Structure 1
Amino acid sequence: MTSPQNQPQPLLAVLWMMGALASFTSMAVAARELTQDLTVFQISFMRTVICLSLLLPYAYKLGWQEMKTTRLKTHVGRNIIHFGGQFGWIYGVSVLPLAAVFSLEFSAPVWTAILAAFLLKERLTRTRVVSIALGFAGILVILRPGSDLMQPASFVVIGAAVCFAFTYVFTRGLASTESAFKIIFYMNLIQLPIGLVLSVPVWITPSVEMIPFIAILGICGITSHYSIARAMAHADAAVVSPLDFLRLPLVAVIGFLLYQEPWNPYVLLGGAITFSGNLLNIWTEQKAHRKTAMPVLDTTEAARERST
């Protein structure tokens, strides 16, 4: 019998996802503002400083025995790739309309399914093939011939999505021995010196006006993940994941209000097509896993890897 504490609570899940959406949108705006004066490397470094400072007290509380790892090489490899994805995402936010970045980012689960088939030997089911096809169809709608988005920056964002897919595959492997907190902690710990080394040659001292945006970028990198985790604790992935699509119209409105970015129906349509493929895969996976009483694989987590 399910205890009252473990019963689904969709309303609480919705409220936590609203917090996640607010965090993702705030990160995009903060990154856009900071790239007007600072380099992408420096922004990544300062975001990591904030995140690590928030994680350190809990890591200290857990103690060295709990935080030490025997898989440091895997953590290093994962986070070198993740740093590349983070660089591509922030660069995309600085150059492209915000809605376009989020739409292209929805392709991360597509690349995850492809990489998992090759690297983890996961079977490409009919549903996953359809999901991949819809993902590519969505990208083609966004980057249609003659579109203003057919430019190098768009392919940098797609490259970032591929990097996030790689990190998700790495996370799948690490999760067998490492806690979620440990994975996030080592991610920030490893990316700190990477960002520092790359930032020093192009360092610009942040102005007082930039400090709130730096704080927002770092804090929301933590709150976005925490909010998603809490939402998943109150409802199934099939309930929570559709809410993730609201990021796209929300950021389109923010882009229009703050930066006068025009509405692009092809971007919204392409994002919707790609996301529908992701959602189809989630629903099918959940149905299959319910039959075998196994945990559900939420492939949309790959798109969220950017914020860790």
Structure 2
Amino acid sequence: MDQNTRAGILLMIGATFVFALQDGISRHLGGTYNVWMIVMIRYWFFAAFVIWLTRRNGSLRNALRPARPYLQAFRGALLALEICVTVLSFVLLGLVESHAIFTSYPLLIAAFSGPVLGETVGWRRWLAIGIGFIGILVILQPGVGVFAPEAIVPLIGALMFALYGLLTRLAAKTDSTQTSFFWTGIVGAVVMTVIGASFWEPMIARDWAWMALLCVTGVLGHWLLIKCYEFAEASVVQPFAYLQLVFVAILGVSLFGEELRTNVVIGAAIVVGAGIFTLIRSRRATRPIA
């Protein structure tokens, strides 16, 4: 393993840890305040960060003129709404079960990459996708007792995030990463301000400190992710993103008193295993023939 790859892996692990902290803070604040306001304030800080970063890199003029503005606007709005859905799932289900279900999003990306992007998905990846969804059923246990409707919320979030990922790949064919990142922050801030402004409610000083930390972790996590992809290929470091589930489980159990149920652990292991397999197969499928 060369030095750049090792640095990329360490940066990905750092990013997953920071994002897990962000999710824990969102879970804490979401239990007291409405989700719309929390995500709105978080996006204000995020928008300021992307403007600073884009100007620093001297690409603000290009970022303001994307090749597909409607596509960029839609994916930016979609991510903002997905974050709202996911934070809501933290409040309804807890961190552990929400993330166990949400980790299915790479399988959803693989499943829809054919109809959306025109990519070929081989039988091995389809088999892995099918096995992954068996893992989701193990987590949800739809035939055992009374099925909890709120368990669908993180699955909706995973679907939204998978669509966002596919649209991001589609946008990457005509726009730079910097342009897509800029539109993600700006459109998200506009959408959340329109929705969240009417949901404003007073926040005590202690929770403003948590809110500030939430904003910082959001920016720091994205910065670590950007640096990570500068050092190593996405297909190499992406499997390490699943460590976020481990970090989240530690936070959920130790700070929020959540329970690690056997079916959730087994189901999450199946989903993660299937997801890593699809990543490996995808990497082989896109590797140029020598």
Q: Report how far residue 186 of structure 1 moved.
A: 0.9
Corresponding residue for 1:180? Answer: 177
Deviation string for 1:33-60 (max 9, x for gaps)? 1112221111111110111122222323
Residue in structure 2 matching 1:67, options 57, 63, 66:
63
Q: 1:100 to 1:141 in 2, by over 3 A?
A: same
| Contact residue 75 and residue 183 of structure 1 kept, 8 A | yes
C-alpha offsets along residues 85-131 of structure 1, whole Å, 9 cap, x if unaligned? Answer: 11110101112121111111111112212222112222221122022
Q: What's the counterpart of residue 266 of structure 1?
A: 263
CA contact (8 A) 2:40 2:192 kept: yes
* 2:8/2:229 contact within 8 Å kept: yes
2:15 is the counterpart of 1:27 = no
Structure 1: tracts of 5 or more residues without a match: 1-5, 294-308
Residue 36 of structure 2 corresponds to which residue in structure 1?
41
**Two-structure CA RMSD over aligned residues (Å):** 2.3
2:128 maps to which of 127, 131, 136: 131
CA distance in 2, matches of 1:27, 1:57: 21
Q: Report the CA distance shift for 1:171/1:36 in structure 2 as closer, same or farther (over 3 A).
A: same
2:110 equivalent to 1:113: yes
1:291, distance to aligned residue in structure 2 (A): 4.2
Q: Percent identity?
A: 23
Gap runs ≥5 in structure 2: none
Residues 98, 251 of structure 1: 8 Å contact kept:
yes
Could you report, residue by residue, the CA deviation over 1:219-260 in whole angstroms, capped at 9, with x for unpaired residues? 222322332343344445454233222222221121111111
How many angstroms apart in 2 are the aligned matches of 1:149 and 1:27? 31
Post-superposition offset of 1:204: 0.5
Change (3 A) 1:238 1:187: closer
Structure 2 SS opposite 1:292: coil
Dislocated runs of 4+, deviation >6 Å: none
Report if aligned partners of 2:27, 2:94 keep a CA contact under 8 Å in 1: no
Q: Give yes or no for the alignment of 1:244 onto 2:244.
A: no
Residue in 2 that maps onto 1:193 = 190
How far apart are the structure 1 equivalents of 2:173 and 2:81?
25
The 3 A distance-change label for structure 1 pair 149 and 136 is farther
1:165 corresponding residue in structure 2: 162
Q: Which moved further from structure 2: 162-171 or 146-155?
A: 146-155
Q: Summarize the Cα distance change of 1:147–1:254 in structure 2 as closer, same or farther, 3 Å threshold.
A: farther
Q: How far does the alpha carbon of each residue in 1:256-294 deviate from its partner, in whole angstroms, 9 at most, with x for none?
A: 11111112121121111111111111112223333437x
Q: In the alignment, is the contact (CA less than 8 A) between 2:83 and 2:157 conserved in 1?
A: yes
Residues 244, 36 of structure 1: CA spacing in aligned structure 2 closer, same or farther, 3 A cutoff? same
User: What amino acid is the match of 1:166?
Assistant: L
Query: Does residue 22 of structure 2 align to residue 13 of structure 1?
Result: no
Q: 1:45 to 1:288 in 2, by over 3 A?
A: same
- In 2, are the aligned partners of 1:248 and 1:268 still within 8 Å (CA)? no
Q: Contact conserved, 2:107 with 2:278, CA < 8 A, in 1?
A: no
1:182 and 1:217 map into 2 onto residues whose CA distance is 24
